[in-house]
Each structure stands twice: as structure tokens, then as C-alpha cells.
Amino acid sequence: MLMDSHLKHFRKADPVIADLIKRFGPYEPKQRRGRFQVLTSSIISQQISTSAARSIRKRLVDRLKPGVITAPKLAALSVDELRELGISRQKGEYLLDLAEHVNDGRVSLRRMSNMDDDQVIEQLTQVRGIGVWTAQMFLMSSLDRRDVFPFDDLGIRNAIKSLYDLDDMPTKAQGKEISDPWRPYRTVACWYCWRSLDG
């Protein structure tokens, strides 16, 4: 059983995470389907509320019906048409840059299952509006990679500060020192760190 293997690993590697496993139960991440749709949603969601992002994404889906959002469909729109849907000019440019990268093969979403994490991050961060953190979230949620550590995630840093009784937010060196024993399940440990913030 997966929970048993995680618990066995963390009992030796990090009792703090082992306690969270016993508290919250099995690792059950929400896997997000549709790689292109996940990336468009990530761009749309930047710096706005969840409800606003949901509304804008629905308008985009409705505009591109029938079917789902695809790179060719998105590329057929202009920045001004995207602005009519409530998408800022900057995000509209990011979305079209993503569509262009996918359409011309510079970003190969189909082949990413066969790439290592660094290769995926390198490809995705070619796109304007996609940084390392967004690429790491994609690895965790769309490719089910189990050994990703997004140190720049504020939730992870807050959880580490609380769980390990730090006086201040962890430095990168502290984050590395704490997370290295989590390998090869750093994603799993991060999931439990996020859960710990829910109480």
C-alpha cells in the first residue's frame, strides 16, 4: 500500500512528515488532466482571485467551443479578442506565446512524460508568463512527479517555518537541508505540508 511505503520512508527520514501522514491519511493529490488546459489556467490565474480566474476561464472555454481549449484554437484569437473575455493584455500575450510554442513544437506537451524534471522546466520556462514555480506545479499536478520541491511556494515555506519551529521564514539553504531527506518523495512531503496549513 502506497501510504505504508511513504510512512516507512518518512519514519526513518523525517518524523515530522511521518506524523502528518498518520494525521491526514493517504496521499491523494488531485491530478489535473489536459496539459495545455492546465497551463492556460495557470496563466489566467496569476494574481487574481480563484473565482475571477474561474469566470474568465469559462468565458474562454465558451468562446472556443465546441471541445476544449487547444493551442490551434487559442492561436486563432487576437490579444484584443482575449481582452474582451476579461484577460489582461499582458496575459493575452502570454497565452498566445504559449500557443505559439506548442504549435511550432518548441514546447512538446506529449513528450513530457519521457522528459526528466529539468527538461520539462527548461521547455516550459521558454514561454512568457511561465516561471519555475508554475513549471514545478505542472510537474506535480499534471505529470505526477513525486520528487519536486517548490521552495519558492509561500505555503511550503510557511509550513516549514511552523512545522520545524523556525523563528523566521526558511532560507534556501534551510529548505534544502530539511527537504533533502524527503527524497525521492519531496512532492509527497510538500502535499502534507500544504495539508498542515488547513489545520
The per-residue pLDDT for range 75-91, each reduced to its tens digit, is 999 999 999 999 999 99
Q: If you count them, how many residues does the chain have? A: 199
- In the numeric block, the cell 514545478 is attached to 136
* Measured distance CA(170)–CA(78) in Å, rounded: 43
Asked whether the CA dihedral 64, 69, 72, 74 is positive or negative, the reply is positive
Average pLDDT, the chain: 95
* CATH assignment of 35-141, among 1.10.540.10, 1.10.340.30, 3.20.20.140, 3.20.10.10: 1.10.340.30
| Catalytic positions | 153
pLDDT higher than threshold 90 for residue 5: no
CA 108 to chain centre: 17
* CATH assignment of 2-29+148-196, among 1.10.760.10, 1.20.1740.10, 1.10.1670.40, 2.40.50.100: 1.10.1670.40
User: What is the pLDDT, as a whole number, of residue 30?
Assistant: 84
- Is-contact 85 52, C-beta < 8 A? no
pTM, full prediction: 0.92
Comparison of pLDDT for 167 and 4, the residue scoring more: 167
pLDDT higher than threshold 80 for residue 199: no
Going by pLDDT thresholds of 50, 70 and 90, the confidence category of residue 2 is low
pLDDT higher than threshold 60 for residue 1: no
Residues 6 or more apart in contact with residue 135 via CB below 8 angstroms:
120, 121, 124, 125
Q: pLDDT tens across 90-147, in order?
A: 999 999 999 999 999 999 999 999 999 999 999 999 999 999 999 999 999 999 999 9
CA 79 to chain centre: 25
Residues 156-180: what's their mean pLDDT?
97
Residues 63-68: what's their mean pLDDT?
94
List the domain boundaries for the chain.
Answer: 2-29+148-196, 35-141
* Measured distance CA(74)–CA(49) in Å, rounded: 23
CA 104 to chain centre: 24
